[in-house]
Amino acid sequence: MNKILKTKTIMGMALLIFVIFSCKEEEEVIPRPKLTVETVNPSAYGASDGSVDLTIEGLENTPYEIFWSNGATTEDISGLKAGNYAVKIIYLDKAVANRATKLTDPAPTPLNLNFSVEQPSVWGYKNGKITLSISNGVEPYSFLWSTGATTQTLEKVKAGTYSVTVTDSNPHGAVSTSGTVVVEQPEFVCGRDSLMDVDGFKYPTVAIGDQCWTAVNIRTIHKPGWNPDDATLDEAEYLIDGRFCEALKCNGPLGAHYTWEAAVNGEHSGGIVQGIAPEGWHIPSRDDWKKFNDWLRIDGNGGPGPNVPNKIRGEDSSSGFDALYAGNWGYGVFTGELAAFWSSTELLDAEGNSTGRAYYRLVNPLPLLGEGHDIIEKGLSIRLIKD
């Protein structure tokens, strides 16, 4: 019995070993394919002529199916626009291999912007025009100017720099291009053209020798740089502190009164002081007033005789300067027969330190154009002179 049992045990073990090896021989080996792609990008921005060439290695004797993310089931795909593409290979009914790639557009051709500019007819006027033409894009176009306008042509413009962004209607992706154009200021003709300040007040001008002056007193409210159309500006920072307006005088040629500090707007350079004047103009210095006086003292310059006040006093003066008796503002308003104008020149002591006083020029019934100095807190009239 023991011999028979031993024999059966040995046979059973042999059978088990045979079964194990037989199963191993029947196990299916799952291949691991290698997927490689070669891409051709679209030839132009928005074009649909890109392609992907797929190569599958390792499944030569294995059936498989191809599924692209764009719905294609072929090995290679073409007629493609820019974008992401993925492929899935399914084989042996369950195994999966994946690969992804991307096609990119070349940079779009910028729109070609051509500007045609008509300058304002007169210095300071807002009757210029910018005409814009576009090529290299797909109509219709949209426009956004730095002024906020959305029209192709910009009208009623003054001298300055203007920018615009133009966007086309390319169905493959809108193309935007920006451009800048400068509208030049026409030549200023003194005596013909008027100066305009940041508040839109216009001041007629007059030539005195080779100088160009405003022919009326200014009434400017805001400092240079103020723009009521710029919502980012804090108006309180631009209001002139030290401007005084008596009753309705600021509505006419009498203008406003300004303290000296207000007029020079903090500038104490001793040279040309723009102060509250528009760009290209300045508060006249003591030397400017001297040159003014010296020219008018000559008989025939600005009128007959050497009497300067007679040539500049009152409306329709022979010189055209038209100094009106606007008085001055101090601890009250003095409205006597005088016109007093600040210069930009401060009175300094022997060591060059401020005395708290500045020079002015005075017109009254006397036959001389007076000069003096007064405390800088007092309010006098302001004339401007072109740089």
Instruction: Write b or e for each residue in 338-372: b if 16 or more Cβ atoms lie within 10 A of its Cβ, otherwise e.
Output: bbbbbbbbbbeeeeeeeeebbbbbbbbeeeebeee
β 195-196/202-203 pair status: antiparallel
pLDDT for 20: 45
pLDDT for 85: 96
pLDDT for 163: 97
Q: How far apart are CA 182 and CA 144, in angstroms?
A: 16
pLDDT for 268: 80
* pLDDT tens for each residue of the chain, 387 residues long: 445 445 444 444 444 444 444 444 455 678 889 999 999 999 988 889 999 999 999 998 889 999 999 999 999 999 999 999 999 999 987 788 999 999 998 888 899 999 999 999 988 788 999 999 999 889 999 999 999 999 999 999 989 999 999 999 988 789 999 999 999 989 999 999 999 999 999 999 999 999 999 999 999 999 999 988 888 999 999 999 999 988 777 888 899 999 999 999 998 867 899 999 999 999 999 999 999 999 999 999 999 999 999 999 999 999 999 999 998 887 556 667 899 999 999 999 999 999 999 999 999 999 999 999 999 999 999 999 999
145: nearest Cα among 123, 119, 167, 127: 167
pLDDT for 173: 81
pTM of structure: 0.65
